Structure 1
């Protein structure tokens, strides 16, 4: 999906001179080992994230200029590259990070080369990830960061995030070092090979919340290029609030389910990689289940509750708080029926009353019409009766009790 060019962003700081580089290739870390360990020792916090998924076939000598919107401020920026779904090693021979001026053009002087264990080139084995070295300099909160990368040999299944709701750019050949937009003539509505960005905040007590969800969390029906997903609105609230939770990672996948693989791996199967491995995570925000219900595969409320309990158990075992939201209304969507509505109501009773999560945010109550509680309030409805519009996304974020993002664990 493509959208219009991103608006110019006023920035008060730029990334500073990068570390001295070597030319030998670095090797990546297997994805089965939590990649946040080294970052955690530095008190790093995720400032942006997007769930890894299968993305079709990789293309050799292809470059991507990826625009991402950060949350927490900090220094020592690092990026995480993913070959989670690849079936062969992936070499990236040039990776840069800069700040967006407009479209594919960068703020002059901001584009700096990233290294991996001191090397300019990194080879990421199939199923693995690679963290860059920290980049000296500071990154303000709410920056439009641009990560440019090039692979000379990409082939086979590619890894990325399909529905970005953000215009990024592509090209043949290596134009990563260029700050002008001249070489970036193609657009893409996806993020390729990049699944996380972290910084080291000035306050070592700073942490992050990770939103685990489906297309509503992924931002479908919000306005492309304006960062109006509900986690974006939440990030802006957190920046203004007196709270140590500043980082927000949006780990939603359109069509995703709690129990079954399909549109991305099920939440149960991607929890470790997409959520628990992120540096500085304090709280998991669980908002998922409508796709399990409307799929008509025979999933019962008991099945879905068992899935929630497994996510909560594993998050708690990792020392994370869990905030869960009720499943929103969706009467009017073609797959809605009374049987599914009964499951939704039973699941929501569990979320509200079980006491098994650390806090509850009642998105169902915020979104539903007072006249028909199975339907979304028209003012908040994008028109398809399941996805909120921009106003609905903001209402959801405004409903989150910011104090609920802390718990004693």
Structure 2
């Protein structure tokens, strides 16, 4: 414990030293023209954007996100993708979490945008912060604090975070204490990507494109036990070229049709291909398309899978596909949907459209009833794996498959 505590104090001290070396930027300025430029580096955390209801003027958000890979020159992408008017953010800070909403002393530092402390993000757009000097470790809770002085209209964020974050009325973003951050939220607001510059220039990232099974439903809240989290820990330990993991799961999402979030085909560019340093797209979707008498055929889904693979390959990315897991016992299961699932999985296992395939169906199914989840992995609703199931999925991914020769 002493060694770990000392290491944390050294990290915070290094961040504080970096702050002392910077000159204070202007207190307020108009939106710089370069904040929408694509960031360099590698994505270390991400969450897919969706509409979140109405924005709240004067609200502060203290958002907890968990890094996958470590590096320096942290940048954060702020999103107004579903807004219908400009969004102004001020008092934006990034720090390291101590516990709850409290930050490690000396770690909370202001983010700037072209040197300004305030940014206005146009409707439908994003804005990247300037690089923040200093190193951010892998596998750590990073806290992004922001204030929305005059937010109104549709807000943008990610509603099912499986992570507790915090809110406050008024501008308290520079405070490291948790005294004013007394309310909680289970969503992430206005933030959809964090990047770092890795120590190894050749390092890359994988983006997991999926639905609630990737978003982490039925995993334990606040413990980072979604299958992409387990995969991130494996990649860090492996020391390979692919280190970053971005979670592009949206609960209820479909490949072909809008519903819970935009269809995967529509959000592919924004949520996946725009992420910096992406080496590989990991595609694990389809169950929401085929269940509940949706009328979707195997041929429909195959067309969707191939379109995603084609576009990702055209962008120079590797594509790994995963088979659709069992869900018998879920209220919307029926034999017709099961037949489509089996046909789709036969295609996925043998298709030349992908650089590799991970057989999640084989990992998750019961040997006694292959149409059902193995009870040991069942989160309780017969479709979503529990923590053990999430770990088994991550363990089934061949790490070498995430770095193909493209």
Instruction: State the 1:383 CA deviation.
Output: 1.0
Q: TM-score if structure 1 supplies the norm length?
A: 0.94
* DSSP 3-state at the match of 1:256: coil
Choose from 198, 202, 208 the match for 1:201.
198
1:358 & 1:217 partners in 2: Cα distance?
20
In the alignment, is residue 81 of structure 1 matched against residue 85 of structure 2? no
The answer on whether the counterparts of 1:28 and 1:131 sit within 8 Å (CA) in structure 2 is no
Choose from 27, 30, 41 the match for 2:31.
27
Q: Which runs of 5+ in 1 are unaligned?
A: 1-7
1:165 & 1:385 partners in 2: Cα distance?
19
Summarize the alignment of residues 244-259 of structure 1 with structure 2, pairs less than 5 Å apart. 244-259=241-256
Partner of 2:299: 302
* Alignment length (residue pairs): 395
1:52 & 1:95 partners in 2: Cα distance?
19
Choose from 179, 182, 188 the match for 1:182.
179
The answer on whether the counterparts of 1:71 and 1:235 sit within 8 Å (CA) in structure 2 is yes
1:328 & 1:345 partners in 2: Cα distance?
10
Partner of 1:148: 145
Partner of 1:357: 354
* DSSP 3-state at the match of 2:27: strand
Partner of 1:118: 115
In the alignment, is residue 100 of structure 1 matched against residue 97 of structure 2? yes
The answer on whether the counterparts of 1:23 and 1:119 sit within 8 Å (CA) in structure 2 is yes
Partner of 1:54: 51
1:261-306 CA-partner distances (Å, limit 9, x unpaired): 1100000000000000000000000000000011422110000110
Instruction: State the 1:408 CA deviation.
Output: 1.1
In the alignment, is residue 386 of structure 1 matched against residue 383 of structure 2? yes
Choose from 254, 262, 265 the match for 1:265.
262
In the alignment, is residue 331 of structure 1 matched against residue 322 of structure 2? no
The answer on whether the counterparts of 2:292 and 2:333 sit within 8 Å (CA) in structure 1 is no
Structure 2 vs 1, CA of residues 28 and 298 (structure 1 numbering), >3 Å: closer, same or farther? farther
1:29-58 CA-partner distances (Å, limit 9, x unpaired): 799x8x53xx23xxx000000000000000
1:348 & 1:222 partners in 2: Cα distance?
25
Structure 2 vs 1, CA of residues 10 and 367 (structure 1 numbering), >3 Å: closer, same or farther? farther
Q: TM-score if structure 2 supplies the norm length?
A: 0.95
Q: CA RMSD in A?
A: 1.6
The answer on whether the counterparts of 1:63 and 1:173 sit within 8 Å (CA) in structure 2 is yes
2:344 & 2:259 partners in 1: Cα distance?
22
Q: Which runs of 5+ in 2 are unaligned?
A: none
Instruction: State the 1:26 CA deviation.
Output: 4.5
1:120-152 CA-partner distances (Å, limit 9, x unpaired): 000000000000000010000001000000010
User: Which runs of at least 4 in structure 1 moved beyond 6 Å after TM superposition?
Assistant: 28-31
